Copies of this chain bind each other. A is one copy, B any other.
Amino acid sequence: MPVNSFDNYPMSWKPDKKALKRPYYYSIAELLEQDIINGFLAPGTKLPPQRELADFLDLNFTTITRAYKLCEFKGLIYAVTGSGTFVSPNAARSITISADNTTNLIDFGFVASFEQTNGIVAEVAQKVAEKNYLEKLLNYNDPTGIPHQKTAGLNWMESFGIHADQEHIAIVSGAQNALAIALISLFEPGNRIATDLYTFSNFIELAKMFHIQLVPIPGDQFGMLPDELEKQCCQTKIHGIFLIPSCSNPTTIMISDFRKHELAAIIRKHHLILIEDDIHAFLTAGIVSDYRQPMFNLLPEQSVYICSTSKSLCSGLRVAYMVYGDAFRKNMLQSIFNVNVKTSSLDAEVITELILSGKAHEIVSQKKQLAQSANDLYKEYFPAGQPGEHPLSFYRWLSIEEDVDSSQLEVDLKMRGIRVFHSDRFLSGQTTREKYLRIALSSTNSLDELKLGLDILKQYLG
Contact = CB atoms under 8 A, between A and B. Distances in A.
A210 to B, nearest CB: 8
Interface residues of A, number: 60
A164 interface: no
Interface in A122-139: 122, 125-126, 128-130, 134-135, 137-139
Contacts of A137: 316
Contacts of A99: 140-141, 143
A39 interface: no
Contact of A138 (B121, B134, B143): B121
7 interchain residue pairs of minimum CB distance = A129-B129, A138-B316, A99-B140, A118-B138, A122-B135, A122-B134, A126-B129
Contacts of A419: none
A90 B177 CA distance: 28
Interface string A167-190: 000000110110010001000010
Contacts of A143: 98-99
Nearest to A110: B140
Nearest to A316: B138
Output the residue of A115, A126, A139, A338 with the most chain B CB within 10 A. Answer: A338
A101 interface: yes
Contacts of A135: 118-119, 121-122
Contact of A129 (B125, B342, B345): B125
A117 to B, nearest CB: 9
B346 A317 contact: yes
A115 to B, nearest CB: 5
